[in-house]
Amino acid sequence: MAKNAHIVFTPSGRRGDFPVGTSVLTAARSLGVDIDSVCGGRGICGRCQVEAGEGEFAKHKIVSSCSNMTGFSSVEERYACKKGMKEGRRLSCQATIEGDLLIDVPAESQVHKQVVRKRADVREIEIDPPIRLHYVEVAEPDMHHPSGDLERLEDALEAQWGLKNLHCDLRTLQTLQPVLRKGKWQVTVAVENEKTIIAVWPGYKENAFGIAVDLGSTTVAAHLCDLQTGEVTASSGIMNPQIRFGEDLMSRVSYVMMNPGGDKEMTVAVREALDIVIGVVADEGNIERTDILSMTFVGNPVMHHLLLGIDPTELGGAPFALTLNSSIDLYASELGLNISPDGRVYILPCIAGHVGADTAGVILSEGPHLQDEVTLICDVGTNAEIVLGNKDRLLACSSPTGPAFEGAQITSGQRAAPGAIERIRIDPETLEPRYRVIGCDLWSDEDGFAEQTKSTGVTGICGSGIIEAIGEMFLAGIIQTDGIIDGSLSEKSPRVKFNGKTYDYVISENEPLITVTQTDVRAIQLAKAALYAGVKLLMEKLGVETIDRIQLAGAFGSHIDVKYAMVIGLIPDCDLERVKSAGNAAGTGARIALLNKAARKEIEDVVGRVEKIETAVEPKFQEHFVNAMGMPNTVDEFVNLAKVVNLPERKVGAPAAEGSAEGGRRRRRRR
């Protein structure tokens, strides 16, 4: 009777008794231990590395020793020579059991690797992609046992990987015979959801890739990910070429309404942009397009429809009907995307008329449905998507903020680019500004600023800059509660200038002249009031008066200072320590869906429970909107904010005539 050895695996804690001579990998698999392998135990991929514990482990009641495994094999020596291996590591497919062992499976050898977001307060991504690679050795054709190449490939996958009842896509089948012969009957197979063969390569292939795409109305962002490790190997972004048809979503819908075939034009434009960005990340990642097996997409409903080649006209008016709001699985070729011939596309579900798959991505990324706290998530862009709630109940709405937050429709506004003002401070006594521009770490009043910005100049003010400018102007007393620029301050500082009708604040007198006008202030007021009113509606529907946590998502949300977002009344009062930037949360949601098949089912279930509030038909929206026009708000108190900054007394007035002392002054103190 063969002698048995007791084996304990960490960190899982799984254990069992196995006959001496059993491979460590076989023991691990029989216990359901999370351990990776692509090559099927042939010592090629090196992903099944483990370490044996040395000594007595009282907790596990085991004495473990490296000598209780067979010595280094020639296969391990060859792998270590070619690719290197940490001291003490063994290939579990090669090492066999000789006695009691405690085996540690390091993180990089686990199938379900944990990729932790930079911020500690968000979820980890479990790497478990729908598409996996399997290396197999296929029996050669035999006159005495006639069968097709596909049948023998399927037999090999069942025998070597336990995959049964597979079927093969036609385009993959069309290349199967030459690939098998080129690989001398040794091939790597990509299988989707343990059901479908979608790609075959000759020989051993170590990596396959996917792309997560955030299809925004302004920019298209793509992240190339290794499907086995979750590593982001390349990222790129491109301006959405649909901007030429209109900066905001309704402008693009209007273009379709007024121009027959306009939807097809925009579909072609965005797909061409995607082709460019796919090529860029493939080049940066040093891979072939055919190595890309999967893509996931998030985007607002209009972008969603135009990507799919669906006329978005119905989204242009009530009841804002979607063609579909469920998730959708497609072949990439159906969208004209040039990746692997049988590459897959998964598009996350939309929630409702103007709350799209990008919001679903944000929810998946930030996980409000898993929290006890009442969390507010605002994805700020040309159209703001708002989510409020916790694990018990989630509500969502959208508000048309317009392009002002991105620098559009602002007198000196521009997109974020080198030379654009992104940070600004105003002295409350002298009203003199100092600022920083993109591409330079110095403030404008520091030595060397002129030299460092000589190549770009100071060209304008971007979205984060205009938020800070309005906030600083309010705190310095230049702007009153109602948003009026206090013209009486022109006596105090030449920075406040009369333009014939209203007053401007001059940030830079150089060429080009950079100012904040009364019209600019109004544009920001309208945008922030729309978002705030949407938030207030959701708070009323949820029955809460305060919010525990606020997350600002989106490219704009990730760059603004959350303090100034609250100063101007973009978001409601909250402990500033609990207000964070979520970065590109929609893109992160797309990446989670790319790398974890269970996450797709999760977000589909959650979206089905989200309650959509349509602001256009809510009678109290207008009341909240009017109140939110004030700085930071006409009626709501900001007690948490007041602990951090000295908020001016509420004061309103009309713009004073040039030289007049009217308009009043307010208490001005620095934070």
Q: What is the model's pLDDT at position 176? A: 96
Instruction: Please give the model's pTM, rounded to 2 decimal places.
Output: 0.81
Residue pLDDT, tens place only, 397-425: 988 776 667 666 788 887 777 888 999 99
Higher pLDDT, residue 622 or 555: 622
Residue pLDDT, tens place only, 85-139: 888 899 999 999 999 998 988 767 876 554 332 232 334 678 899 999 999 999 9
Amino acid at 533: A
pLDDT at residue 26 greater than cutoff 60:
yes
* SS3 annotation, 124-172: EEECECCEEEEEEECCCCCCCCCCCHHHHHHHHHHHHHCCCCCEECHHH
Query: Counting runs of H as helices and runs of E as strands, what totals does the chain give?
Result: 18, 31
- Please give the Cα distance from 496 to 492 (Å, whole number): 8
Higher pLDDT, residue 19 or 416: 19
187 membership: H or E segment, kind and range: strand 186-192
pLDDT at residue 444 greater than cutoff 90:
yes
Residue pLDDT, tens place only, 262-299: 899 999 989 999 999 999 999 999 999 999 999 999 99
Count the helix, strand and coil residues of the chain and give each as a percent rounded to the nearest 5: 35, 25, 40
Any idea which of 227-236, 303-312, 564-573, 602-611 has the lowest mean pLDDT?
227-236
C-alpha closest to that of 316 among 401, 378, 248, 397: 248
Q: What angle in degrees, to the nearest 10, is found between the helix axes of 357-366 and 597-609?
A: 110
Interstrand relation of 219-226 and 209-215 (parallel, antiparallel or unpaired): antiparallel
**416-426 burial by CB neighbour count: b if 16+ within 10 A, else e?**
beebbbbbbbb
Mean pLDDT score, 159-169: 93
- Please give the Cα distance from 198 to 333 (Å, whole number): 13
Higher pLDDT, residue 668 or 328: 328
Q: What is the model's pLDDT at position 238? A: 81
Residue pLDDT, tens place only, 505-546: 999 988 889 999 999 999 999 999 999 999 999 999 999 999
In percent, the amount of the chain with pLDDT more than 90 equals 63
Phi-psi region of 439 (alpha: psi -120 to 50; beta: other; left: phi over 0): left
- Please give the Cα distance from 584 to 605 (Å, whole number): 22
Question: pLDDT confidence of 144, banded at 50, 70, 90?
Answer: confident
pLDDT at residue 384 greater than cutoff 60:
yes
Would you say how long the chain is, in residues?
Answer: 671
Q: What is the DSSP letter of 12?
A: T
Residue pLDDT, tens place only, 562-601: 999 999 999 999 999 999 888 788 899 999 999 999 999 9
pLDDT at residue 671 greater than cutoff 60:
no
pLDDT at residue 222 greater than cutoff 80:
yes
Q: What is the model's pLDDT at position 496? A: 96
Q: Are 381 and 218 in contact, with CB atoms under 8 Å apart?
A: yes
Residue pLDDT, tens place only, 191-221: 999 999 999 999 999 899 999 999 988 788 8
Mean pLDDT, rounded, of the chain: 88
Q: Are 306 and 312 in contact, with CB atoms under 8 Å apart?
A: yes
Q: What is the model's pLDDT at position 122? A: 37
Strands (E), 196-340: 196-202, 209-215, 219-226, 232-239, 292-299, 328-331
Query: Which two structure tokens, joined as six digits, stand for 204?
Result: 């051993």
Q: What angle do CA 204, 208, 209 make, to 5 degrees?
A: 165
Question: pLDDT confidence of 57, banded at 50, 70, 90?
Answer: confident
pLDDT at residue 383 greater than cutoff 80:
no
Query: Which two structure tokens, joined as six digits, stand for 610?
Result: 């989200």
C-alpha closest to that of 382 among 300, 324, 461: 300
Q: Are 25 and 41 in contact, with CB atoms under 8 Å apart?
A: yes
pLDDT at residue 666 greater than cutoff 50:
no
Question: pLDDT confidence of 667, banded at 50, 70, 90?
Answer: very low
Q: What is the model's pLDDT at position 112? A: 53
pLDDT at residue 20 greater than cutoff 50:
yes
Q: What angle in degrees, to the nearest 10, is found between the helix axes of 249-258 and 262-284?
A: 130
Which residue's structure tokens are 């030289």? 659
Q: Are 25 and 92 in contact, with CB atoms under 8 Å apart?
A: yes
From first CA to last CA, the distance across the chain in angstroms is 81
21 alpha carbon, distance to own chain's centre: 47
Q: How far is CA 365 from CA 391, 580, 593, 608, in A?
A: 14, 14, 10, 17
Interstrand relation of 101-104 and 420-426 (parallel, antiparallel or unpaired): unpaired
Q: Are 160 and 186 in contact, with CB atoms under 8 Å apart?
A: no
In percent, the amount of the chain with pLDDT more than 70 equals 92
Higher pLDDT, residue 242 or 643: 643
Bridge partners for 69 per DSSP: 97
As to burial, measured by CB atoms within 10 angstroms (0-12 exposed, 13-18 middle, 19+ buried), residue 140 is: exposed
Q: What is the model's pLDDT at position 511? A: 85
Q: Are 273 and 240 in contact, with CB atoms under 8 Å apart?
A: yes
As to burial, measured by CB atoms within 10 angstroms (0-12 exposed, 13-18 middle, 19+ buried), residue 272 is: exposed
